[in-house]
Chains A and B, each alone.
Chain A
Amino acid sequence: MVSGALAQVQPEPLTAGNANANDTVTVERPKKPDSLKEKFYLRSFRVGTDLISLGKTVVMKDQASNYFSGLEVNGDADFGKYYFAVDVGTSARAYDLHYGDSGNYSNSGNYYRIGIDINLLKKDPDRNMFFFGLRFGHASYHESANLITVNHYFGAVTKNLTNNSVTATWGELVTGLRVKVWKEFWMGYTARMKFLPGVSGDTAFKSFDIPGYGRNGEGFYWGFNYQIFWRIPVAKQKRPVRFSAK
């Protein structure tokens, strides 16, 4: 801290008092103390789950016209400023189309997301997080639809269609908070802007709902998770050295 203050007072090269005007003495700016840098090493793991998926499963598991069952496990590894994040989930959905007039749709499958978060709260002693990050998502699933299609000129037709083995990839821009609540218990949320879904294997009909992503279509898709975590420390946290005046 003392050497840092000196650097601010003497930002320009110094001129020696008894030397000529052309002679200059250059003083190098001292490096910051190591204690203020976020060193890159593994500090802890956090493992948690998404409460919204659990809540929706409880509320919607008995609704035939709007069924949902899902579980998502979230984890991250604390490397200082950077966090490596992984989400793994399973999801099953079924719902009516146009109140049942157009048939119904169902899917079931698994997904994962991997990516990196950057913590913007650099000096928080509890290592609370306000972060931005990127994710790569991948899902493999099957889906089926009972479609009733009505045409003004040619009448109505009902088709039972199935996409047996569908895979999808996408990207996400994420932001959110992680807050230490009690000891190693943490809570937080993640807002997701999902984009560029790429689907293969949807031969019978255009894939409609991607597990872990949402509705397949152009543009962005919005997602939100409210999560709880348990932190597992790996290395003891090195706190910045504090100097006290005597």
Chain B
Amino acid sequence: MRFLLVCIVALLLSGCLSQPDCPGPASNMAQISFKNNRSGKAQAIDISMLEFGSKYFLTADSVSSVSIPVNPFTTETTFIINYTAILKSLANIDSTVTKRDTITVGYSVQNIIVSTDCGAYLLCKDLLLKYSSFKNEAKLVNNQLSTRATVNITIKL
């Protein structure tokens, strides 16, 4: 009986430990991963300019994946990627490709009040791939946006 009482009191007190964490500023990030169309391995590209909404980011980094924020005030965001990639042909000859491609994603937005201390937050979820101008396959692999390094869309170059 005493053990039962201790268990019940411990269970009751556990309610005090339920203070939520504030979400970070970049919780609504879509991660796009680039793969080689022939080998299926990660494909590095040099992104010269990245556009989303009316925002422009200039970069000279060589990356095989990129995280881009979706606009939480709408239910659709278009990403425009200006990039250069060195691709291997069937004859194993390198060819340099410079392109400008577009990808459009859709999602639903939920208004959430996290806590009185954290305030309000817009949660984007249920990601959809609406359009892709990439020549090869673009595929949605995970429809949940997050800050974690989780790939949402894979694009084969």
Contact = CB atoms under 8 A, between A and B. Distances in A.
A154 B76 CA distance: 13
B12 A105 contact: no
Interface of B is mostly: mixed
Given A206-B110, A206-B112, A221-B15, A102 B55 contact: no
B116 interface: yes
Contacts of B28: 151
A148 interface: yes
Chain A interface size, under 10 / 10 to 19 / 20 to 34 / 35 or more? 35 or more
Given A105-B113, A159-B111, A217 B15 contact: no
A222 B18 CA distance: 9
- Range for the number of chain B residues in contact with chain A: 20 to 34
B116 A95 contact: yes
Given A154-B53, A220-B14, A220-B15, A102 B120 contact: yes
Interface string B97-126: 000000000000011110111111110000
Contacts, number: 95
A193 B120 contact: no
Contact of B73 (A151, A206, A215): A151
Nearest to A204: B111
Interface string A102-131: 110100000000000000000000000000
Nearest to B12: A193
A145 interface: yes
B69 A153 contact: yes
Contact of A205 (B20, B113, B115): B113
Interface in B35-79: 52-53, 55, 69, 71-73
Given A101-B119, A208-B113, 10 more contacts: A97-B113, A102-B113, A145-B113, A147-B111, A147-B120, A151-B72, A153-B55, A154-B55, A205-B110, A220-B18
